[in-house]
Structure 1
Amino acid sequence: MIGIVYLGKNLKTQERLKYIPGHTVKFTSTYKDAAEVCTTNLTDEHFIVFYERSVRNEDLTAITYLHKKFENLYIILITGPLSSQDRLIYQNCGINDTLDVDATITEFNKKICFIADREEILFKKQTLKNRILRFHIPIWKRSFDIAFSLLAIIILSPVFIFTIIAIKLESRGPILFKSKRVGSNYKVFDFLKFRSMYLDSDKHLKELKDENQYISSETSPQKAGAPLGEEAEKAQIESGIPTDLMISDDEVMLVGDDFVISENDFNKQKSNDINNAFVKIENDPRVTKVGRFIRKFSIDELPQLFNILRGDMSIVGNRPLPLYEAEKLTADEYIDRFIAPAGLTGLWQVERRGNGGKMSAEERKQLDIKYGRTYSFSLDLKIIFKTLTAFIQKDDV
């Protein structure tokens, strides 16, 4: 429900608002009265406040007070012409929209209907607070992360030094590789690894897409629909099939600038994209000799200890994903993997890492979701122990 409040003393505006169809407007003359209406009326979750502009300093005080007392407001400033400076000042103070002081009843009503139809979108604070579950790392987990990562950095400092020297001697380029990754709460951060590939290796990823271990063998790339235009019509005519019978009455077709595809085929392709979200290449030719060694013993992952110190990651959690992978996992059934800590190691790594890294994309996603729902101190210790005993991989993956 949306309540409507008028704050001002303009009799002409008040008269027009009395005749808004289907809505009862509460009339107030002071901002404290308007705030009282919003905070005591429990039947309305959100409010539209039509605020009649007066002296700028008084307006700013009133608008700030209203937002402080009741945050679920959509404030429309009723005003004459505004200078660019005044418009910016009012917007920064919390005005959502403006309406001309001589607006008709119809214009008022259109504005109200527009807001009511988009209630959940426009009242962002209420929607985000009630509907988004955010992960907050427990104190025990954060304390353990700091202590463990600091100790590991000190103990492994000789490994850091030798690795830096080896990478620098073998190939040109930076020692560390930074990539944008998506962690818990869909937060994007700079993910650190020792560089194990030649420069510009990411530009050759498309050339190796057929080697991706996670691509389902049951599906193969298909063209997204049939072309439109004269060539398509000619092909239909030559095939002997009438063009007006090509689509069944109950089939929904999606039409783009240069293709047409049935809704069923589109949904299949979208599902295929989600199923093949992860990328992993066996015997990747882009990897250097030093890179193969440090990957085999997971040395390339050690700089992530600094990510853990910064709070981007945890020792144990779900692997933070590259942006191109994460964007494919925003469906309702997979979003839970992001309501969990991002981790250096995790459940799926120790479950199947000793099996040559073989794992379907669906298995990996389900293990991520399982960890996010069930993680505990004892489970973290178990995963760490398994990681320490299984970090040497038998296969080059």
Structure 2
Amino acid sequence: MIGVVYLGSNPKTEERLRYIPGRLVQYTRNYKDAASACSTHVRNEHFIVFYEQGEQDADINAINYLKKKNKHIYIILLTKELTAENRSVYQKSGINDTLDCNASITELNKKIQFISDRENMLFDDQQPKYRMLRFKIPLWKRVFDVLFAIIALILTSPIFILTAIAIRLESKGPVIFKSKRVGANYTIFNFLKFRSMYQDAEERLKEVAKEAGNQYAEMSKKAEKTPMSMPDFGMGGNMMISDDTDMMIADDEVMLVGDDFVISETDYSKEKKEEIDNAFVKIENDPRVTKVGKFIRKFSIDELPQLFNILKGDMSVVGNRPLPLYEAEKLTIDTSIDRFMAPAGLTGLWQVEERGKGGMMSAEERKQLDIKYGQTYNFWLDMKILFRTFFAFVQKENV
């Protein structure tokens, strides 16, 4: 069992740690006492040290002392906020992780449990001395992934061949589409799918979007000819042109006034244009998607090449969906790191939960489910997700 030591003098933190279930926490006020508390004569006994941030130079000195005296400790810095420069300094001194100094009892307990569940991995003496928390796929998961991928490739080989032929016959271009995705430990890899779009997909989309934009422009011109009212475009109520608004606007600027908003017609036009452009990404008759592409998307056949990602070790059968680079960049804060402490997966927790909700799930809900999986994944949870995936294999809409 991992021991827990608190180094600091914050009474609120001490009080929260006292309520951690099943944990006897040792409280210390200076780093020498903390080092002594982490000393053990029991083989393979490890300690988590919650270190309350103070003055940086003193902290670095204390952390270096703790690391020198105790090899089997995992230091979590309790902090309000860190600049990128300060974070780098603390990492190099030996900090393993950070946590908000006002973290709740639940958050503290989850962090302790997360580390305890991965004790053998995190306290591996062969790992580099200065390192942050990193994911290493468990042996049971890797063995299952390889066996599953090999069997699936054998069983689906006829589908692979037929799909490749159909794609090449319908349109020019490579059979396999590659895109950069981010998996465990923020590792970037080539994500494989069967190509489901035309080679000139973006040109096709721009053309259709242009036509839709022209239609909207014509609607706007007609609306301007009606001096007192405009049609309801679904933005909160009937709109009308306001001539007596007290806002500071240009003489030639037209303002649209709704029940609970005021917006210039220029800004409104931009918003509507963005809605039109974005709509084509998910519309049923997306001009970029080939006929074969629609079929293989509906039955998730386009995902089959990811079995090679699994064999290579880029992904697992069950995990968190690998994210495009621009999305992963938004999830580099401490509260989101646990999302990347699990492998990228062919299927995952939020995919089956979302289908259970009829496809209605916010981005925040997805993120929280990814974090939950990263903190709690195990063999039986993987089997449960996989079982539910098989029953939701035929998708009702393209994703």
What is the one-letter code of the residue matched to 2:331? L
Q: Please state how far the C-alpha of 1:171 moved relative to its aligned partner.
A: 0.7
Instruction: Tell me if the contact between 1:356 and 1:393 (Cα under 8 Å) persists in the aligned partners.
Output: no
Q: 2:312 is matched with which residue?
A: 310
Q: 1:73 is matched with which residue?
A: none
CA–CA distance in 2 between the matches of 1:325 and 1:156? 31
Q: 1:292 is matched with which residue?
A: 294
CA–CA distance in 1 between the matches of 2:200 and 2:297? 18
**What secondary structure, in the 3-state scheme, does the structure 2 residue paired with 1:189 have?**
strand
Q: Deviations over 1:267-321 (max 9, x none)?
A: xxxxxxxxxxxx9724233211111110111000000000001100000000001
**Structural mapping, 1:322-341, within 5 Å:** 322-341=324-343
**Structural mapping, 1:70-219, within 5 Å:** 121=88, 125-127=92-94, 132-201=132-201
Structure 1 residues 387, 130: closer, same or farther in 2, change over 3 A?
closer
Matched, 1:281 2:248: no
Structure 1 residues 208, 315: closer, same or farther in 2, change over 3 A?
farther
Instruction: Tell me if the contact between 2:175 and 2:195 (Cα under 8 Å) persists in the aligned partners.
Output: yes
What is the one-letter code of the residue matched to 1:370? K
Structure 1 residues 325, 341: closer, same or farther in 2, change over 3 A?
same
Q: Please state how far the C-alpha of 1:46 moved relative to its aligned partner.
A: 5.7
Instruction: Tell me if the contact between 1:356 and 1:395 (Cα under 8 Å) persists in the aligned partners.
Output: no
1:375 is aligned, of 368, 374, 377, to 377
C-alpha RMSD of matched pairs (Å): 3.5
**What secondary structure, in the 3-state scheme, does the structure 2 residue paired with 1:328 have?**
helix
Instruction: Tell me if the contact between 1:354 and 1:394 (Cα under 8 Å) persists in the aligned partners.
Output: no
**What secondary structure, in the 3-state scheme, does the structure 1 residue paired with 2:335 have?**
coil
Moved more, 120-129 or 354-363: 120-129
Structure 1 gap segments, 5+ residues each:
1-41, 48-116, 210-216, 220-234, 240-278
Q: 2:354 is matched with which residue?
A: 352
Q: Please state how far the C-alpha of 1:378 moved relative to its aligned partner.
A: 0.5
CA–CA distance in 2 between the matches of 1:290 and 1:44? 63
Instruction: Tell me if the contact between 1:193 and 1:302 (Cα under 8 Å) persists in the aligned partners.
Output: yes
**What secondary structure, in the 3-state scheme, does the structure 2 residue paired with 1:137 have?**
coil
CA–CA distance in 2 between the matches of 1:198 and 1:338? 32
CA–CA distance in 1 between the matches of 2:157 and 2:292? 18
Q: 2:364 is matched with which residue?
A: 362
CA–CA distance in 2 between the matches of 1:329 and 1:207? 34
Given the two structures, how large is their TM-score scaled by the length of structure 2?
0.50
* Identical positions, percent: 63
**What secondary structure, in the 3-state scheme, does the structure 2 residue paired with 1:388 have?**
helix
CA–CA distance in 2 between the matches of 1:197 and 1:176? 11
Q: Please state how far the C-alpha of 1:130 moved relative to its aligned partner.
A: 5.5
CA–CA distance in 2 between the matches of 1:208 and 1:324? 25
Structure 1 residues 311, 287: closer, same or farther in 2, change over 3 A?
same
Q: 1:276 is matched with which residue?
A: none
CA–CA distance in 2 between the matches of 1:182 and 1:208? 31
CA–CA distance in 1 between the matches of 2:89 and 2:385? 43
Structure 1 residues 305, 360: closer, same or farther in 2, change over 3 A?
same
Q: Please state how far the C-alpha of 1:396 moved relative to its aligned partner.
A: 3.6
Instruction: Tell me if the contact between 1:282 and 1:396 (Cα under 8 Å) persists in the aligned partners.
Output: no
CA–CA distance in 1 between the matches of 2:369 and 2:143? 25
Q: Please state how far the C-alpha of 1:360 moved relative to its aligned partner.
A: 1.3
CA–CA distance in 1 between the matches of 2:375 and 2:208? 34
Structure 2 gap segments, 5+ residues each:
1-59, 66-83, 99-131, 210-233, 237-246, 252-279
Q: Deviations over 1:131-166 (max 9, x none)?
A: 621111111001100111011101110010000001
Instruction: Tell me if the contact between 2:352 and 2:389 (Cα under 8 Å) persists in the aligned partners.
Output: yes
CA–CA distance in 2 between the matches of 1:285 and 1:323? 25
Find the structure with the greater CA-based Rg.
1
Structure 1 residues 148, 121: closer, same or farther in 2, change over 3 A?
same
Q: Please state how far the C-alpha of 1:355 moved relative to its aligned partner.
A: 5.0
What is the one-letter code of the residue matched to 2:282? I
CA–CA distance in 2 between the matches of 1:130 and 1:326? 19
**What secondary structure, in the 3-state scheme, does the structure 1 residue paired with 2:189 have?**
strand
Given the two structures, how large is their TM-score scaled by the length of structure 1?
0.51
What is the one-letter code of the residue matched to 1:340? A
CA–CA distance in 1 between the matches of 2:332 and 2:192? 24
Q: Deviations over 1:238-272 (max 9, x none)?
A: 99xxxxxxxxxxxxxxxxxxxxxxxxxxxxxxxxx
What is the one-letter code of the residue matched to 1:281? K
Structure 1 residues 330, 204: closer, same or farther in 2, change over 3 A?
farther
**What secondary structure, in the 3-state scheme, does the structure 2 residue paired with 1:295 have?**
helix
**What secondary structure, in the 3-state scheme, does the structure 2 residue paired with 1:159 have?**
helix
CA–CA distance in 2 between the matches of 1:137 and 1:124? 23
Q: Please state how far the C-alpha of 1:375 moved relative to its aligned partner.
A: 0.9
Structure 1 residues 321, 202: closer, same or farther in 2, change over 3 A?
farther
Q: Please state how far the C-alpha of 1:330 moved relative to its aligned partner.
A: 2.2
CA–CA distance in 1 between the matches of 2:315 and 2:250? 60
Count how many residue pairs are aligned between Structure 1 and Structure 2: 227
